[in-house]
Amino acid sequence: MPKAIANIERKIKELQRAPDNVKTRWLVGACATAMIFVIGFWVIYMNATLPKIEKKSQAAETADTTNKKDGTGEVFFLGLRTLTDDFKTRLEDFKNQVGQNANAFKKRIEKTNEFSLEGGQSNFQSENADEISPTPLP
């Protein structure tokens, strides 16, 4: 075991001294390998934990006629189809709501107010009021 650790340390030191293009290649390779492992574990986990989908689509019915079981890919695409259908209905609702709001806004902009000015009908001096005499200022 110590020999394996020494080999790993030697390889890391070689990589540290290597040019940037070699380092980049190692980085991309390590990321791709890690991604493959993560996606593989995710697929295994999804197959183990998710129940089989009871709602049958046309693709699932075709698969049933050929006596195939729902695989990970079929379940994934069925879920993806469900998500896209939900997204389409939400997008349509959003478009309708934006259209209604735009129409209401347009109506408010086009609405005109009518003003009428009338004068001479009010007299602010009461004829029954007592007369107030002016007070001289100091």
Whole domain around residue 15: which residue ranges?
Answer: 1-49
> Residue 116 falls within a domain, yes or no?
no
Structure tokens at 52: 């089989």
In single-letter form, the type of residue at position 131 comes to E
- What pLDDT is stored for residue 37 in this prediction? 95
pLDDT tens per residue, range 17-62: 999 999 999 999 999 999 999 999 998 888 888 776 655 555 555 5
In single-letter form, the type of residue at position 37 comes to F
Could you tell me if 9 and 36 lie in one domain? Answer: yes
Domain count, the chain: 2
When comparing pLDDT for 132 and 18, which is higher?
A: 18
> Residue 78 falls within a domain, yes or no?
yes
Could you tell me if 103 and 71 lie in one domain? Answer: yes
The CA distances from residue 119 to 106, 113, 116, 122, 126, in Å, are 34, 20, 10, 8, 18
Closest listed residue to residue 99, CA positions, set 109, 91, 89: 91
**Confidence check: pLDDT of 83 > 60:** yes
Could you tell me if 12 and 31 lie in one domain? Answer: yes
